[in-house]
Structure 1
């Protein structure tokens, strides 16, 4: 289990230091505790509350099998993010944010495949047939692709969420995630606008210690979600491998028969009551396009399982989302019943293949 977040630890890491008062964003006022020596001080109690909320959501997304993309291109955050995120096997961008990384994901995937094709050339000997100049050009291209896209080579579809350090610097990433309705988690300093962010973590996004403190907590939550997912997968296998119970002895059979006779008599005298169990809610975030907030809105409206979602009409789903929150009104649920039907039928491989070939509503035209 992830360690408890302590205000004292955040204080020691300098998470409470904001920017100069003249550089502040008024929308950050609810998260500011006071002003001292011309610098705003962040309310760490609110930071702890928001961090716990974000960790719970990230844990759920990681547990559903979706990827979480971490973005931090500023110098003091690069190495920290690369180290922490690599430990939980999640994709990250620490160099330059490639324009269209999310909105033009199909093209980005082609660049990643180009990198894989160069590796195949080197293995099958095709690379050696090229001239010295061509080999040099190919090596340079491979190095450039590795530097910019190497960390996302295993991200075959759009991420389930995006975590950003410094939203002002990564404003393009914020806009792309907003356009595709990808949940945004971010460290937001006093000079940034928290309104576009779904899960705001008010904190100092400039100091290395502060970034490390927040990233440590976040990656622990992600690791916990991945561990739970692994345990859930192994549970059915262990159950199937469990030895069958030995046959009952003859005396036990006789006792069982007598018990059944008594039960039958009682059943005849008193009609059996039928108990109705409430269906357990499914993890609707496994459907492409449904984030944690949209899933909560659907469950609250009675669409709690994949079967319910498969039977629902897109227009009715749209109405539920719009009434739940204006921020969910732009979602396009046209494909949700189709995906939910595949999930309800247990066709997970077919669902994954469909999701891999569909990026933000655009069919993948790759080979």
Structure 2
């Protein structure tokens, strides 16, 4: 799909039909399923088309201002409108599907995924979706060493548990008021940071991140330990640090909710398959390695462009 510069009358809604038609024309040329057409190469035609429409409606395609971009995201950009980059939703749909399949595979093999999103608009969504699918989450602040020095973090969790035991047993009421106030303040701080990872005794098999630029410490720690990263990457992010990038608007609430809910659904599917296939190891699909080769090819083409 060639990159274009859009010219519109300034109305937000006028972008949708033109962009949708342009994407669908390109998908048809490349043999990708389109509404009303049967494509034997895909088993989930309806789901893919609905997802594309939902992405448009949720504003997943809106990137940052053209002056605030990372050139490494060039291969994911479809065009520009009024100084705003427009992401290529054809790539977003495909990579979102691959990321979900990977997440499902991780949980199917009884691994865990850590959901990370500390920006204000992402916090409630990350917590809600992580709890819905039974995964761990970080929404307040990423503690340095949360992955690379997990045992030290576990000591903080033990401290939190000890304070709560004192509160529940009434032991704290026998302490001086000043000490009680200090413990309550410490409890509030620890609980806000650690509540989502209390049961995390081993490293997660993968992490899912909203805005890897903001969560660069988490991404760096995961990369250092060889933990795969699934992330929403906006036009100002570095996709080279992400094993499963999902080109998307990481600022809009509807966009964050749509992508995060999709990953959570994949986790639930993986958990169900794990129960059905208990005791049977299922390897990660070879399609992931093929996708990485395709990514490298696209990256090379984008750099040469």
- State the distance in 2 between where 1:76 and 1:123 align: 33
C-alpha contact 2:230 2:244 (8 A) present in aligned 1? yes
Please name the residue that 1:46 is paired with.
91
Aligned pairs for 1:120-199 (under 5 A) are: 120-199=165-244
Please name the residue that 2:142 is paired with.
97
- State the distance in 1 between where 2:199 and 2:114 align: 11
Return the offset for 1:125. 4.1
Please name the residue that 1:211 is paired with.
256
- State the distance in 1 between where 2:282 and 2:268 align: 18
C-alpha contact 2:229 2:244 (8 A) present in aligned 1? yes
Return the offset for 1:40. 1.0
CA-atom RMSD, angstroms?
2.3
- State the distance in 1 between where 2:124 and 2:221 align: 24
| SS in structure 2 of the partner of residue 61 of structure 1 | helix
Please report the TM-score for the alignment, with normalisation by the length of structure 1: 0.63
Please report the TM-score for the alignment, with normalisation by the length of structure 2: 0.75
| SS in structure 1 of the partner of residue 227 of structure 2 | coil
Runs of 4+ with >6 A deviation: none
Please name the residue that 1:13 is paired with.
58
Residues 1:68 and 2:113 aligned together: yes
- State the distance in 1 between where 2:252 and 2:127 align: 16
C-alpha contact 2:109 2:281 (8 A) present in aligned 1? no
- State the distance in 1 between where 2:241 and 2:277 align: 34
Please name the residue that 2:47 is paired with.
4
- State the distance in 1 between where 2:177 and 2:240 align: 53
- State the distance in 1 between where 2:165 and 2:276 align: 35
Aligned pairs for 1:1-367 (under 5 A) are: 4-5=47-48, 6-233=51-278, 282-283=281-282, 292=284
- State the distance in 1 between where 2:81 and 2:70 align: 17
Rg bigger for which structure? 1
- State the distance in 2 between where 1:221 and 1:147 align: 27
Unpaired segments of 5 or more residues in structure 2?
1-43, 290-295, 297-305
Which whole-Å deviations, capped at 9, do the CAs of 1:183-214 have from their partners, x for residues lacking one? 00000001111001000100000111111111
Please name the residue that 2:3 is paired with.
none
C-alpha contact 2:140 2:193 (8 A) present in aligned 1? yes
| SS in structure 2 of the partner of residue 65 of structure 1 | coil
Which whole-Å deviations, capped at 9, do the CAs of 1:8-47 have from their partners, x for residues lacking one? 1100000000111122211111111111111111111110
- State the distance in 2 between where 1:175 and 1:38 align: 31
| SS in structure 2 of the partner of residue 41 of structure 1 | strand
Q: Greater RCO between the two (CA within 8 Å, min separation 6)? A: 2
